[in-house]
């Protein structure tokens, strides 16, 4: 599987596993744990979660799923809510996440989205957690270019590793200004909802005739084409979410698909990148 090298020099897989909504239903818990473990066995060792997901239930699920693996073989990402992203509260929030996950440190801790706490204060608190060894590094989520430019004023040591934002074939707004800026700063893109939540965020993706023809040519599914497209560039980590083992395997196989120049041009013609500033899409 292709890897992405972060600013800190760590190498992570270009395809990880999202966990939004996982852990909410006790009746599907075992199936979801099997799906996560199947992903790990398939090379998707980066797992993304958050204290917000199910009020911590997702973190508990992930903690159970990784118990049989060497901690150093798993790259754990979690997120802090905006109201917890300031003095004193962030440390408590991080401690609670670590307890639910059953680990001593996070590989990456993300500021989930921007709230009322000053960005400078949030960066300072993230740096304190890093100094304490509670997190190895930090990043952000759902920050647009203005936010990222402001962040860079406070991130004097260039410790921000990723910006996790919504990105899929039918939502390409970040390509106008945010993504080029991130590429220049060598901040990785972590894309959530790369499958547009199985098409619910943008109707027509899975029934599009051109995408189905491209998929047929690769003996693949449209979902796999969407993922292959998502990670086509350098510095992108996709984190599709599924609680089903068969879909996990399908996601992993998408990393072997290489779309041709002609296929990418066809996709651009039906789902073009914007030629003007578009506000950051979050749902």
Q: Parallel, antiparallel, or unpaired: how do β-strands 188-192 and 160-166 relate?
A: parallel
CB 119 within 8 A of CB 111: no
Other CB atoms within 10 A of residue 107 CB: 22
Alpha-helical segments (H) within 103-220:
119-132, 145-154, 178-185, 209-217
- Whole-angstrom distance, CA of residue 268 vs CA of residue 270: 6
C-alpha 8: how far from its chain's center?
A: 17
Among 163, 206, 169, residue whose Cα is nearest residue 183: 163
Backbone dihedral angles phi then psi of residue 8, each to the nearest 5 degrees: -80, 0
For tokens 């203005």, the residue is 146
Count CB-CB contacts under 10 A for residue 92: 10
Instruction: State the CB neighbour count (10 A cutoff) for residue 130.
Output: 17
The answer to whether 274 and 173 have CB atoms below 8 angstroms apart is yes
Annotated catalytic residue, options 21, 53, 69, 176: 53
Does residue 53 carry a catalytic annotation? yes
Residue 98 to residue 51: CA distance in whole angstroms: 10
Please state the separation of Cα 188 from the chain's center in Å: 10
> Using an 8 Å Cβ cutoff, are 49 and 88 in contact?
no
Give the single-character DSSP code of 102.
T
* Residues belonging to the active site: 53
């Amino acid at each position: 599987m292709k890897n992405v090298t972060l600013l800190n020099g760590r190498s992570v897989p270009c395809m990880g596993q999202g966990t939004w909504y996982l852990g909410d239903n006790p009746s599907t818990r075992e199936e979801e744990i099997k799906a996560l473990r199947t992903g790990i066995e398939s090379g998707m060792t980066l797992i993304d979660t958050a204290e917000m997901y199910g009020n911590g239930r997702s973190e508990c699920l992930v903690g159970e799923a990784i118990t049989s693996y060497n901690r150093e073989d798993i790259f754990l990402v979690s997120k802090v809510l905006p109201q917890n992203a300031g003095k004193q509260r962030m440390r408590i929030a991080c401690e609670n996440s670590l307890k639910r996950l059953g680990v001593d440190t996070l590989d990456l801790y993300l500021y989930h989205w921007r709230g009322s706490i000053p960005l400078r204060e949030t960066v300072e608190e993230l740096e304190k957690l890093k100094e304490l060894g509670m997190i190895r590094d930090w990043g952000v989520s759902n920050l647009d270019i203005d936010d990222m430019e402001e962040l860079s004023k406070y991130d004097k040591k260039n410790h921000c590793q990723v910006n996790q934002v919504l990105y899929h074939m039918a939502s390409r707004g970040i390509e106008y200004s945010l993504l080029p800026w991130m590429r220049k700063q060598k901040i990785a893109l972590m894309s959530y909802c790369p499958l547009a939540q199985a098409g619910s965020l943008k109707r027509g993706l899975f029934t599009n005739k051109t995408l189905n023809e491209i998929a047929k040519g690769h003996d693949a599914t449209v979902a796999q084409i969407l993922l292959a497209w998502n990670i086509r560039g350098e510095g992108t980590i996709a984190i599709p979410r599924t609680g089903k083992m068969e879909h996990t395997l399908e996601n992993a196989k998408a990393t072997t698909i290489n779309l041709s120049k002609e296929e990418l041009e066809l996709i651009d013609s039906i789902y073009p990148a914007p030629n003007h500033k578009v506000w950051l899409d979050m749902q």
